[in-house]
Amino acid sequence: MSDARTPAQIEADIKRRRDQLAETLDEIGVRVHPKTIVGDAKAKVVSSVDNSLGRAYVGANRFVSDVKGRFVAEDGSPRIERIVPVALVAVGLVGLCVVASRRRDS
pLDDT given for residue 95 in this prediction? 94
Cα dihedral 33, 34, 36, 38, rounded to 10, equals 170
Write the secondary structure of 39-87 as one string of H (helix), E (strand) and C (coil).
Answer: HHHHHHHHHHHHHHHHHHHHHHHHHHHHHHHHHECCCCCECHHHHHHHH
pLDDT given for residue 88 in this prediction? 94
pLDDT given for residue 2 in this prediction? 59
From first to last of its 106 residues, the chain has per-residue pLDDT tens of 556 899 999 999 999 999 999 999 999 999 899 999 999 999 999 999 999 999 999 999 999 999 888 888 888 899 999 899 999 999 999 999 999 988 887 7
pLDDT given for residue 76 in this prediction? 86
∠ Cα 21 22 25 (to 5°): 85
pLDDT given for residue 53 in this prediction? 93
Q: Which of 90, 94, 65, 70 is nearest to 80 (CA)?
A: 70
